[in-house]
Amino acid sequence: MKDCVFCKIISGEISSKFEYEDENMIIIKDINPQATIHLLLIPKKHFSNLMDITEEQTEILAQCLKKLSHIYLDLGLDRGFRIVCNSGLDACQSVYHLHIHILGGELLSDKMA
Ligand code: AMP
Ligand code: ZN
């Protein structure tokens, strides 16, 4: 997708270190971390958010989350983690290429926001 920062990272047009990559997704460090560990799980296929998701995209996302259950230790998240997926205006989504925030590496607030 033209003018999508995450598509540019995935294609290599914008250089970024991948913490993990497979056929479905990349995981990178968030440029503006909100926790000791703040990663972004980004599906390689461009889709906007959870408000606009097809059956095929739902299946891709499920595979990404399943994979996370296999790799979270390698990401330094042995004590647990929180995932967040901002979708739409009220959630203040700023990049309209679906991504899952993965937060951890410290004891997070017991409040969600
Ligand atoms: P959201 O507000 O949920 O759409 O989150 C977008 C996230 O992408 C923010 O936390 C940004 O800090 C992050 N971000 C934007 N551009 C980059 C980039 N080039 N590399 C890493 N993270 C980025
Ligand atoms: Zn994109």
What are the residues whose beta carbons fall under 8 Å from the beta carbon of 28, sequence distance 6 or more? 9, 16, 17, 18, 19, 39, 40, 42
Q: What is the pLDDT of residues 45-74, one digit of tens each?
A: 999 999 989 999 999 999 999 999 999 999
Domain segments of the chain as ranges = 5-45+58-104
Token couple for 51: 């408000």
**Which ligand lies nearest to the CA atom of residue 4 in the structure?**
2
Distance 41 CA to ligand 2 centre (A): 13
Convert the pLDDT of each residue in 90-103 to its tens digit: 999 999 999 999 99
* CA dist., res. 59 & res. 4, Å (int): 22
Going by C-alpha positions, the residue among 30, 61, 32, 43 that lies closest to residue 1 is 43
Residue 99 is among the residues annotated as catalytic for this protein:
yes
| One-character DSSP codes across the chain | -TT-HHHHHHHTSS----SEE-SSEEEEE-SS-SSSEEEEEEESS----TTS--HHHHHHHHHHHHHHHHHTTTTT-TT-EEEE---STTTT--S-S--EEEEESS---SS--
Is the pLDDT score of 24 beyond 80? yes
Q: Which ligand is nearest to the CA of 103?
A: 1
Residue nearest to atom 12 of ligand 1 (CA): 32
Q: Is the pLDDT of residue 113 over 70?
A: no
**Closest ligand 1 atom, CA of 85?**
3
pTM of the model: 0.97
Site to substitute for ligand 1 among 15, 39, 40, most atoms within 8 A of C-beta: 40
Pocket of ligand 1 (CB under 6 A): 5, 16, 28, 30-32, 40, 86, 92-95
Name the CATH superfamily for 5-45+58-104: HIT-like (3.30.428.10)
